[in-house]
Amino acid sequence: MAKLYFKFGAMGCSKTAQALITKFNYEERDMKVLLLKPAIDTRDGATVIRSRIGLTQDAVAVKEDEDLYALYEQKYSDCDVIIVDECQFLTPEQVDNLSDIVIDKNIPVLCFGLSTDFTTHLFPGSKRLFEIAESISEIKSVCDCGAKATVNARIGDDGKIVTEGSQVLLGGNDRYVPMCRRCWLQKRAEQA
CATH 3.40.50.300 holds for 4-138? yes
Confidence of residue 172 (pLDDT cuts 50, 70, 90): low
pLDDT for res 50: 85
pTM summary value: 0.92
Helix, strand or coil for residue 8?
strand
140-167: average pLDDT? 85
Strands, E, within 127-166: which ranges?
135-138, 151-154
pLDDT for res 112: 97
DSSP state of 183: H
**Residues 14-40: pLDDT tens digits?**
899 999 999 999 999 999 999 999 999
Nearest Cα residue to 14 out of 51, 56, 55, 59: 51
Whether 173 has a pLDDT exceeding 70, the answer reads no
pLDDT for res 154: 84
Whether 42 has a pLDDT exceeding 90, the answer reads no
Confidence of residue 80 (pLDDT cuts 50, 70, 90): very high
pLDDT for res 79: 97
Q: Where in the chain is the domain with CATH 3.40.50.300?
A: 4-138
**Residues 108-129: pLDDT tens digits?**
999 999 999 888 999 999 999 9
Catalytic residue of the set 86, 93, 131, 190: 86
Strands, E, within the chain: which ranges?
4-8, 33-38, 48-50, 56-58, 60-62, 81-85, 109-113, 135-138, 151-154, 176-179
Concerning whether 131 is annotated as a catalytic residue, the answer is no
Nearest Cα residue to 7 out of 87, 102, 62: 87
pLDDT for res 12: 85
CA 130 to chain centre: 13
The per-residue pLDDT of the chain, averaged, comes to 91
Confidence of residue 168 (pLDDT cuts 50, 70, 90): low
Distance, in Å, from the CA atom of 22 to the CA atom of 42, rounded to the nearest integer, reads: 22
